[in-house]
Amino acid sequence: MSNPMTVECPTCGAPVEWSAKSPSRPFCSERCKLIDLGAWASEEHAIPGDQVDDELFSGELPPSAH
């Protein structure tokens, strides 16, 4: 029988078994998963890339027709 693969939780560093026993993998818990999601939402985490100028929203938008 082989040992299951383990990884470190990206949030807290706890060991996580990479199997169906760990539904939040690669995170150790739902809490760590939500902490990571919050970091992405608040832009603490970002994927590096070139700055893009967004012409669509750079000026005034016409009033809504509603």
The reply to whether 12 sits in an annotated binding site is yes
Q: Is residue 15 part of a domain?
A: yes
The pLDDT tens digits of the residues spanning 9-49 come to 999 999 999 999 999 999 999 999 999 999 999 989 888 88
The residue whose two tokens read 């993998």 is 25
Question: Would you say the pTM of this structure is higher than 0.85?
Answer: no
Q: What pLDDT does residue 47 have?
A: 86
Identify the CATH number of the domain in which residue 10 sits: 3.30.50.10
27 exposed, middle or buried (CB, 10 Å; 0-12, 13-18, 19+)? buried
Domain count, the chain: 1
Cα gap 54→61, rounded to integer Å: 13
Residue 9 marked ligand-binding = yes
Range of the structural domain that residue 33 is part of:
6-45
Whether 66 is covered by a domain: the verdict is no
26 is in an annotated binding site: no
pLDDT band at 7 (very low <50, low <70, confident <90, very high): very high
Q: Is residue 65 part of a domain?
A: no
**Pair of tokens at residue 9:** 């939780």
Contact 23, 39 (CB under 8 A): no
| pLDDT value, residue 53 | 64
Is 28 annotated in some ligand binding site?
A: yes
